[in-house]
Amino acid sequence: MLFLFAVGCDPSLPDSSARQADGADTADTTHEPEDSGHAGNQTGSGDTDTPDTGVPDTDAAKPTTFALDGQLGVDAATAVVGGAANQDQLAECVVAVGDLDVDGALDLGLGAPGHTDDRGAVALVLGPLPAQTSLASATLLTGEDAGDDAGRSFAAGDLEGDGVPEILVGAAGAGAGGRAYLIRGPTDTMELAASDLVLEGTDSEDLGTSVAVLGDLDGDGWPDAVVGAPDLGGHPGAFYLLRGGASLPTTLTTEDLPVVRGARDWDHVGAFLAGADDLDGDGRADLLVGGDGGSRAWVVYGDDQLAGSLDLEITALGRVTALSGSGNAGARMVAPGDVDGDGLGDLVVAAPSREDGSLANAGAVFVLPGPLDELEEVDVESAAVAWAYGLEEAARFGDALDATDLDGDGSIDLVVGGRGAAGSEAGAVYVLQGPIESGRLALEKAPRIEGASEGDKLGYALALPGDLDGDDLPDLVVGAWGTGNRAGSAYVFPLWRPAD
């Protein structure tokens, strides 16, 4: 049974404060993501049949060399997807969606929450990608009403086990409390109102702020999905569990779903959600949960007792590790396997608002060695064996985060974006090559890709989807939603190139 999945983005709340977060843009009423845990995206990794996102096939006819070395610009991209109109904000969310049309080529998903008066859209760009294309030629899943913000979060995965991924789209600005839409693949251009399943939020809970498709969290043999509602109950927040199966229901309400609720006010549980490899070795997928309280995040271990209504506390939920830290620690997390070389799976935690001395909002990334202690609260900074900080004030290092063996040396490499890096919010993406040594990592020497112009915000989102352009070599996709008066762009960079 094929359980392909991709974890989606975890964007900012669609309110006026989020749209005015960057100071200079206070006169602009478009989607300016808040400097909070609701930022950027993450693509997941796990024990499912995801595409190879790092080393090319060793049986390839032509020798290759690692392409991400030194300082690169967007002119190194081999393909570009552009927004169709000002304020589309294309590529605010970037997701590896697998092969949606089952033609043997990998496809790409891009969120455009500003599309058509903030209705928002998900653009599905079918592979192999040409050198230049735009949102106008993509398969579009469009929001229902102005202000819905559809596409600020979405994910893809095969929940029914038929080899074709489903699409799960969040629209936290829709209706009275947000919506989440499930669309069975393959799909054509459509309005989200025609989705196979619509989950309706209530009471300003901001349902759909984050969504993710996971492996088997509850041990029933089927992959699962989760939907975040970070303002449920006021501010504690929650996430709902949507179980996969051979035939997904077409009529459900959130009252029908298991829910895990935040236990403290202002935790905003469910602001970030992502799947993880089996961190505790029990054969079940695990779940990474971030809040918007700025100080807490959680690892929820797969458990067949996830049913009914539960509190996200060590004593109530049972199998959970709580994480604490400053600077929105847990706004981004990934569990890619063994990062520090000790043979055990590790957790990487980003804190994009972390200060570094006098550098406010420089951002930071911490590597926590596994296994983590269950039923404990872990201080992220104290537990870290390696860490890196952004190089400048307001760099927001950690806005986006992923990890895999990019360069073929057998060790995990980290890919980290920061939309405020490289001066004047041009943005940048850094590659921290493994093996990751203990202590502070020298970001100054790391290979990087920098945005071309002020306000491009390159590095707010990224994904490692595999080979998108049909050259049999894996690619890195980086979003820059600020380009072209916020029309937005997604750049495809080859991880490898033919050897000279």
Q: How many CA atoms lie within 13 A of 168 on its CB side?
A: 32
DSSP code at position 391:
S
What is the dihedral sign for C-alpha 389, 392, 396, 401? negative
Choose among 93, 115, 137: nearest CA to 463: 93
Element (H, E) at 115: helix 115-118
Give the pLDDT of residue 309: 85
Give the pLDDT of residue 315: 56
Give the pLDDT of residue 57: 56
Give the pLDDT of residue 232: 92
Task: Residue 92: count other Cβ atoms within 10 Å of its Cβ.
Answer: 34
Structure tokens at 362: 């420089």
Structure tokens at 335: 């569990």
Cα separation, 356 vs 194, in Å, equals: 48
Give the pLDDT of residue 13: 32
Cα separation, 373 vs 387, in Å, equals: 20
Give the pLDDT of residue 341: 86
Give the pLDDT of residue 117: 96
What is the dihedral sign for C-alpha 103, 154, 122, 85? negative
Element (H, E) at 351: strand 346-351
Strand boundaries in 127-253, DSSP class E = 132-134, 139-142, 153-157, 166-171, 179-183, 190-191, 197-200, 211-213, 224-229, 238-243
pTM of the model: 0.89
The answer to whether 153 and 211 are in contact (CB under 8 A) is: yes
Q: How far is CA 401 from CA 226, 227, 296, 354, in A?
A: 20, 20, 18, 15
Give the pLDDT of residue 56: 60
Give the pLDDT of residue 14: 31
pLDDT tens for each residue of the chain, 500 residues long: 333 444 566 544 333 233 233 333 333 333 344 443 333 444 333 333 344 456 665 455 567 889 998 999 999 999 999 999 999 999 999 999 999 999 999 999 999 999 999 999 999 999 999 999 999 999 999 999 999 999 999 999 999 999 999 999 999 999 999 999 999 987 899 999 999 999 999 888 999 999 999 999 988 899 999 999 999 987 899 999 999 998 888 888 999 999 999 988 888 999 999 999 788 878 888 999 998 766 789 999 988 777 778 888 765 566 889 999 999 999 999 999 999 888 888 999 999 999 999 999 999 999 999 888 887 889 999 999 999 999 999 999 999 999 999 998 999 999 999 999 998 899 999 999 999 999 999 999 999 999 999 999 999 999 999 999 998 899 999 999 999 999 999 999 999 988 76
